[in-house]
Amino acid sequence: FFLLRIFAGQFLLESSRYDEAAAEYETAAELAPDDVDAVLNAANALRQAGINSKAEKFYRRAVLLQPNITIKSDQGSLLSTGDS
């Protein structure tokens, strides 16, 4: 089910259906909580959906999973500003 959620999220994201994509990626991240890519996909989709406070939580989780991760400055700005 994990890959199905990833593929569905990707399709929905490419279709500009950000809320639905975020939900699929969030489910994928729940199915594989240690998969940093799944967590980042959820964070990015949530950000594109404008759900910044939740996106911030996923970005923070990604950093905890992989402390040396590089997050783009526009994504990381949520971590420093707490924008919601």
Domain coordinates of the chain in residue numbers?
Answer: 2-81
Token readout for 71 is 């997050």
C-alpha separations of 13 from 45, 79, 80 in Å: 7, 23, 25
pTM higher than 0.85? no
The architecture in CATH of the region 2-81 reads Alpha Horseshoe (1.25)
Q: What is the pLDDT of residues 19-33, one digit of tens each?
A: 999 999 999 999 999
Residue 69 has pLDDT above 70, yes or no: yes
* Cα torsion angle, 59, 64, 62, 77, sign: positive
